[in-house]
């Protein structure tokens, strides 16, 4: 029981987790408003507005700065990880989504029939730079608020 208490009182764990959850809930709400349908898979899905990955790593990095200081190894590791994750989101993963979209379109043309949603490649896997900036901003704000309340 002590382990669970220790885990959920650890700001380096709780803050990024809450930032990620908030970003994912915002994705569900945006999808609901734009498409007029509830999509629970957006809660755990990749891609879309805002970037949950960016919110998570920036919340973790901000918390590391607050708790351990800018000169700490914990902050350094968090900051480097944040740069890698956000670069990957707008680079490789975004390009993967573009490829998936084109492959799905080629399939539809070649076989003149649409493939089922189950067989289609996932298009929402990466982020635009704007989605990453919004996710990072959300992570920063969440970390500041949570660490003020903690």
pLDDT at 34 over 60: yes
**Residue 8 φ/ψ, nearest 5 degrees:** -85, 5
Considering the domain architecture, whether residues 64 and 108 belong to the same structural domain is answered as no
Q: Which of 122, 123, 105 is nearest to 114 (CA)?
A: 105
The 10s digit of each residue's pLDDT in 44-95 is 877 778 999 999 999 999 999 999 999 999 999 999 999 999 998 887 767 7
In sequence order, what are the residues at sequence separation of 6 or more whose Cβ sits closer than 8 angstroms to the Cβ of residue 65?
Answer: 75
What CA–CA distances, in Å, run from 136 to 53, 60, 66, 91? Answer: 8, 11, 16, 16
Considering the domain architecture, whether residues 42 and 116 belong to the same structural domain is answered as no
Higher pLDDT, 147 or 107: 147
Considering the domain architecture, whether residues 16 and 78 belong to the same structural domain is answered as yes
Higher pLDDT, 98 or 134: 134
Considering the domain architecture, whether residues 25 and 77 belong to the same structural domain is answered as yes
Three-state secondary-structure class, residue 44? coil
Alpha-helical (H) ranges within 36-91 are 52-68, 73-90
User: What does pTM read for this prediction?
Assistant: 0.81
Count of domains in the chain?
Answer: 2
Domain containing 120 equals 92-125
- Work out the pLDDT band at 108, boundaries 50, 70, 90: confident
Considering the domain architecture, whether residues 71 and 32 belong to the same structural domain is answered as yes
Distance between CA atoms of 54 and 49, rounded to whole angstroms?
11
Give the rounded percent of residues in the chain with a pLDDT score beyond 90: 53
Considering the domain architecture, whether residues 35 and 73 belong to the same structural domain is answered as yes
């Amino acid at each position: 029981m002590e382990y669970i208490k220790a885990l959920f009182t650890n700001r380096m764990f709780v803050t990024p987790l809450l930032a990620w959850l908030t970003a994912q809930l915002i994705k569900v709400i945006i999808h609901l408003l734009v498409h007029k349908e509830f999509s629970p898979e957006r809660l755990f899905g990749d891609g879309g507005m805002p970037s949950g990955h960016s919110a998570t790593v920036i919340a973790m990095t901000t918390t590391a700065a607050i708790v351990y200081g800018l000169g700490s190894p914990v902050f350094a590791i968090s900051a480097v990880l944040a740069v890698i994750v956000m670069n990957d989101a707008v680079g490789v993963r975004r390009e993967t989504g573009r490829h998936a979209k084109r492959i799905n379109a080629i399939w539809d043309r070649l076989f003149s029939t649409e493939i089922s949603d189950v067989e289609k490649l996932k298009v929402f896997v990466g982020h635009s730079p704007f989605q990453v900036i919004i996710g990072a901003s959300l992570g920063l704000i969440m970390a500041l608020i949570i660490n003020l309340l903690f």
